[in-house]
Amino acid sequence: MKVLITGGCGFIGSHACEYYVKKGIDVVAYDNMTKHELMRTGYATDAARNYNWEFLRKIGVALIKGDVCNLDKLMKAADGCHFIIHTAAQPAMTISMESPALDFSTNVLGTFNVLEIARRLKIPVVNCATIHVYGNKINETLKEEPTRYIRCPAVIDENHPTMEGTLTPLHVSKRAAELYVQTYIETYGLEAASFRLTGLYGPRQFGGEDHGWVANFVIRTILEMPIRIYGTGKQVRDILYASDVAEAFDAFYRKRKPGIYNIGGGTDHSVSLLECIKLIEEITGKKLTTEYGASRLGDLQYFVCDISKAKRELGWEPTVSTKEGVSRLIDWVKESESIFRRGLRAK
């Protein structure tokens, strides 16, 4: 078996690669190695950018530098593959507002190309969508408790209306890509899934203010630098550890039940920013300095996935506890501290 992972040198892509390599399966990682987001984090850009590439090279992944917008090159990379995991994306709401054309081409055209290739090769494909497709009207249904927002019902399933509230280009590009997935399922019978992913975290995540908040908090705690919170800090997510995401991709490959799935930690893994900071402080023994700013356009203050569809149809559920996952992320940031510190010092 051979798996093509677009965006394989990114955070989740690298975990999907590692997952299949450990199973003795051939893996091709296809990634354009963009530095667009990394340059904004303040970390040592080249060292951070090459980190996952080197990691994958050492474990035997075939690496191809290419853009998902290049259909011919992507088609060649997919030759002989049995499954595509599409993680390549422009994932940040902030960047989507600043560079809507980049967001559109990467997320819409890129996903369209991936689907076309899966259709031509008649192979299954999983797309990475996001819980942001629901929109932030959910913010209007929340109550405030001392450390977090709460909502009744606590969880949100796939039948909840989408695109309600204030929309940004990211909402549209991610939902458009997902609609193409649905369309390819219905029109061509493609064995495809779109995963509406929640907040993901784990090692090899170079998180910053744009994207990857758990990693951003951990990195800044270890470096003893202040973090900025946009809003009250009571925002809630059901965070999901990276290896659990890789398991979900494979669960779809095994069960092949096409459709849209919420993939998140569910209520057992829900945490607010303030609660997450407390957990990081407890594990590291360090105190984090926080600064507060106004909420950003399009921000979603609460999301906890109802994951019963993924449990029922794919036989998947998260296995890594929040405490265990955050501890592993902390260990990795400590090992990799020089990459973060070097760039920030040079600024």
Residue 326 burial by Cβ neighbours in a 10 Å radius (0-12, 13-18, 19+): buried
305 binds ligand NAD (CB under 6 A): no
Rounded Cα gap, residues 302 and 149, in angstroms: 7
9 binds ligand NAD (CB under 6 A): yes
Report the site for ligand NAD in 34-53 (rule: CB under 6 A): 34
29 binds ligand NAD (CB under 6 A): no
Of positions 95, 200, 279, 280, contacts ligand NAD by CB under 6 A: 200
Q: How far is CA 88 from CA 29, 110, 189, 236, in A?
A: 10, 8, 23, 25
Rounded Cα gap, residues 150 and 43, in angstroms: 34
325 binds ligand NAD (CB under 6 A): no
Rounded Cα gap, residues 146 and 302, in angstroms: 15
Rounded Cα gap, residues 204 and 155, in angstroms: 29
β-bridge mates for residue 80, sequence order = none
Q: Which is nearer to ligand NAD, 163 or 286 (CB)?
A: 163
264 binds ligand NAD (CB under 6 A): no
Rounded Cα gap, residues 192 and 122, in angstroms: 10
298 binds ligand NAD (CB under 6 A): no
320 binds ligand NAD (CB under 6 A): no
96 binds ligand NAD (CB under 6 A): no
Report the site for ligand NAD in 107-166 (rule: CB under 6 A): 110, 128, 130
218 binds ligand NAD (CB under 6 A): no
Residues 6+ apart with CB under 8 A from 165: 135, 136, 137, 138, 139, 140, 298
Q: How far is the CB of 147 from ligand NAD (least distance, A)?
A: 21
Rounded Cα gap, residues 174 and 137, in angstroms: 17
Q: Give the total of residues touching ligand NAD (CB under 6 A).
A: 26
Of positions 3, 5, 13, 247, contacts ligand NAD by CB under 6 A: 13
Q: Which is nearer to ligand NAD, 207 or 258 (CB)?
A: 207
Q: Which two tokens stand for residue 18?
A: 């590692």
With residue 293 as reference, give the H or E element that holds it.
Answer: strand 290-293
Coil, helix or strand at residue 13: helix
Q: Which is nearer to ligand NAD, 42 or 286 (CB)?
A: 42
209 binds ligand NAD (CB under 6 A): no
Rounded Cα gap, residues 320 and 246, in angstroms: 12
Q: Which is nearer to ligand NAD, 46 or 145 (CB)?
A: 46
Q: Which is nearer to ligand NAD, 73 or 255 (CB)?
A: 73
- Residues in contact with ligand NAD by the rule CB under 6 A: 6-7, 9-13, 31-34, 67-69, 87-89, 91, 106, 110, 128, 130, 197, 199-200, 212
